[in-house]
Amino acid sequence: MMRIIEKAELSKQVQAYRELNYRIGFVPTMGALHFGHLSLVRKSRAENQISIVSIFVNPTQFNDSKDLEKYPRTPEQDLEMLDAEGVDIVFVPDVETIYPDEKRNVFDLDGLDKPMEGKFREGHFDGVADVVYRLFDIVKPDRAYFGEKDYQQLKIIQQMTNVAKLPVEICSGEIVRESDGLAMSSRNMRLSEQERSVAVNIYRIMRDFDPKAFVENPSKAEKMLAEEINQYEHLQTEYVSIVEDDSMQTPENLESDVTYRLCIAVWCGQVRLIDNLTFVISNNY
């Protein structure tokens, strides 16, 4: 039976699980759940004895108060979905529980927070790192699960976990897509019918991209892809970045057998969408 419990009860329960040597899997979310979240829940259920999900729309990671206000909230549906997945515990804290005072934890993010999302959403990753640290401190999971759609976030959480020396294994889940390829996101709910139909071009253009033609000039590819996307009504690219998958550094040239990631943020009307795709240039074909 799934239980929705408060912080004090959660801490007691986690302690009891630890004494039984149960492994705890944790999926932090901001609610408005979709199959991307559920795929993480399924991983957690498969790999741990206990699975805990949090639902908390974290105000400190929104650089734009309108975005926070408009962030979709579907609490009843979320709980039904989690119950159907067999989640053990759901934690739905309020802002005072997570932020009892004005203090904030700041981590050395080793510059990973500077490019891409960091450039356009000032302070966003400081908010993410702090809230995830606070949630880990309460839930004390063995493993925590994050989607690759927020690839830069995944890297930053890994970095925060390393510098804070937390005994949590950070696990990732592949991007889950709609049948036409659009990456699942809670924000997709806010798209009008017309916007939703053009949004499909983002992934189509990414998928059709042939990096072999740009080995000596990846920045030219970034410009070209942005222009291609911007041709569609409602779509306005914020950035297109090709980065080395591990370091997230921008390469001067694309080398064979190195994994790169094409990362993209696009406004679709008033809704900001992100997506990414890995690629390797192989000499074997």
Q: Is 128 in the site for ligand PAF (CB under 6 A)?
A: yes
Q: Is 185 in the site for ligand PAF (CB under 6 A)?
A: no
Give 128 or 262: the residue with its C-beta nearer to ligand PAF: 128
Binding mask 149-168 for ligand PAF (x = CB under 6 A): -x--x---------------
- Among positions 14, 17, 29, 138, the unique one binding ligand PAF when judged by CB under 6 A: 29
Give 31 or 218: the residue with its C-beta nearer to ligand PAF: 31
Give 28 or 218: the residue with its C-beta nearer to ligand PAF: 28
- Among positions 10, 14, 25, 28, the unique one binding ligand PAF when judged by CB under 6 A: 28
The site that binds ligand PAF (CB under 6 A) totals a number of residues, namely: 10
Q: Is 131 in the site for ligand PAF (CB under 6 A)?
A: yes
Hey, which residues between 51 and 90 contact ligand PAF (CB under 6 A)? 58, 61
Residue at token pair 């891409």: 116
CA gap 206, 279 in Å, rounded: 11
CB of residue 146 to ligand PAF, shortest distance in Å? 6
- Residue 15's CB is within 10 A of a number of other CB atoms, namely 10
Query: Catalytic: 124?
Result: no
Q: Is 30 in the site for ligand PAF (CB under 6 A)?
A: yes
- Among positions 10, 52, 79, 132, the unique one binding ligand PAF when judged by CB under 6 A: 132
- Give the pair of three-digit tokens for residue 90: 């759901």
Q: Which residues bind ligand PAF (CB under 6 A)?
A: 28-30, 58, 61, 128, 131-132, 150, 153
Which residues are designated catalytic?
A: 37
